[in-house]
Structure 1
Amino acid sequence: MLNATMLLLICSLTAQAAETREQIYRIGADVDAQGHITATQVDPGVPISIAPVLASAVKQWQFVPAKLNGRSVPAHTFISAKLQALPNASGQYNLRISFAGNGPKFDRAGRQPPYPRDAVHRRQAAFVFINATVQPDGRLADMTVNSQFAEWPVSASFKDAALKIARTWHFIPEQVDGPPVATQVRIPMNFTLRDQILAPEQVKILREAARKESAMANAEVALPTVPLPSEQEVALDSPLQPNANAVATIITAP
């Protein structure tokens, strides 16, 4: 069933331009006390042709079981699955589905931070991350803001803008044996303008970061323009950790 669905999806992509396309999808996952995924919940907005592909792939993955008072217990998390459509020599596409992380669920759609006026005047860009705790009620606490790059200082106005929008955010927390639990997260945030001014050193920083990310993913990426860092949030201490031997990339044949 999984192969048949993927074949239909691949065929639907053959008429598109021969370029790599990718998308991150969040999928709710119930994980039992042995670390097996017993049920998934795909968001309603995921295309109907893709939803069964993602659900079937995710159910093949496995986690190190969550612990409570020293014993393994069931838990609930949200998995980030990367789906890539990769052009091949025959003019069609292969599909690759890979694990990209797990943690609380966050939707920042439509919630853009206010751009500092002084930075607009100077056409400045900034790349920061927020370290915070997702509380059991879904709100953020213990928030701090830092630059994503040690050699790229960030002004106080960018940090204030990041904190202002972060105070309005809400997460769906992870659960351990039923009740919601707190999770430490790191949330990247990009401040960019259409006609921003970047120094040569800043362009070099962004390109080097993109190269390192592609190398870690064992992928090759073209850099025709200045690449921007990902804004994918990361859970730092999720109660469910992926089993390194059982969370694998799935690649389909054309």
Structure 2
Amino acid sequence: MKTMLAVACGAMLAAAAPAPAPARQADTPLAFTTMVKVAVDEAGRPGAVEAMAPLPGPVRDFVEARTRELEFQPAMIDGHARGGVTYVVMGVCAIPDGGQMRMAAEYRNNGPGRAGGVPYPDPPRYPVDALKRGWGADMTIRYTVGEDGSATLDKVDFNGEGQRGKGIFERMAREWVGGMRLLPEEVDGQPVSTPVSMPLELTVGRSGTRAAREMLEAARRSWVDQPECLAAERPSGQAVAAQSPFVVREADAG
């Protein structure tokens, strides 16, 4: 799953999370992520495919068609292949081309879903005590999505040594994960639990400073280098990690 970056600027939290850039020039790519509900058969082929977010008709059709091209390894129970339901996050990019838009969509990840088709959660609330002290954190939050759609924190791994305020950030992670409500994956018609890992970087920057501007600009520019935007730039324009029971076959994962 894509790393989530939360930048605290003064007293305001600016979330540079996986979401469309808030503003763009008319000649720059339009990029966003969207969630697709996918029914997978026992052979690992997508059956019913449904884009969960409200999208314009042509965009919805394109995203669903691209999702149908994926191939999965089916879930295995007692040595037998089983079908079920998973939720796929697709990255979409449209490149202006004269009076038209050249579009591409690429697989990002799959696992439990979110109501309303939101592909990623909002960033957690930046801990006030950490903000006052100027403490940031680089961590991986590991949690399990239960059969009822609730989430339970398993572990917080801090990346690098000398992390300050571990207890503060662990409490933040526990509250954040505890407030999640998700759509569980299904195997053979029954909901299943899924372990998920979410990289998270928390950074403090003063509003209006060069460092803060550079952090936000880097997050915005990262969209241009995504596979779907690189694919859309080609002439054809067609071309966070959950331990899902349905794994996309490597040759088709982009």
TM-score, with length taken from structure 2: 0.69
Against the structure 1 CA distance between its residues 247 and 47, is the aligned structure 2 distance closer, same or farther, given a 3 Å change threshold? Answer: same
Query: How far, CA to CA, are the matches of 1:54 and 1:216 in structure 2?
Result: 16
- Aligned letter for 1:246? D
- Aligned letter for 2:107? F
Correspondence for 1:130:
141
Query: How far, CA to CA, are the matches of 2:94 and 2:178 in structure 1?
Result: 36
Compute the displacement of 1:44 (Å).
Answer: 4.3
Correspondence for 2:248:
242
- The structure in which a higher percent of residues are strand is 2
Compute the displacement of 1:166 (Å).
Answer: 1.2
Unmatched segments (≥5 aa) in structure 2 = 1-24, 231-239
Query: How far, CA to CA, are the matches of 1:214 and 1:49 in structure 2?
Result: 22
Deviation track 1:12-69 (CA, whole Å, cap 9, x = no partner) reads xxxx622122111110000111111110122143333421111111112211122111
Against the structure 1 CA distance between its residues 161 and 75, is the aligned structure 2 distance closer, same or farther, given a 3 Å change threshold? Answer: same
Correspondence for 1:150:
160
Query: How far, CA to CA, are the matches of 1:82 and 1:120 in structure 2?
Result: 32
Percent identity among equivalent residues?
23
Correspondence for 1:187:
198
Correspondence for 1:33 among 42, 45, 52: 42
Correspondence for 1:63:
72
Query: How far, CA to CA, are the matches of 1:141 and 1:180 in structure 2?
Result: 16
Q: Which gives a bigger RCO, structure 1 or 2 (Cα 8 Å, sep 6+)?
A: 2
Deviation track 1:189-248 (CA, whole Å, cap 9, x = no partner) reads 3435562699x9xx99xx7xx98x99895988xxxxxxxxxxxx420x211111223344
CA RMSD of aligned residues (A): 3.5
Q: Aligned with 2:252: secondary structure?
A: coil
Correspondence for 2:102:
94
- Aligned letter for 2:57? I
Are 2:141 and 2:156, in contact at CA under 8 Å, matched by a contact in 1? Answer: yes
Are 1:124 and 1:196, in contact at CA under 8 Å, matched by a contact in 2? Answer: no
Query: How far, CA to CA, are the matches of 1:113 and 1:238 in structure 2?
Result: 24
Query: How far, CA to CA, are the matches of 1:152 and 1:38 in structure 2?
Result: 49
Query: How far, CA to CA, are the matches of 2:123 and 2:226 in structure 1?
Result: 29
Unmatched segments (≥5 aa) in structure 1 = 1-15, 221-232, 249-254
Correspondence for 2:51:
42
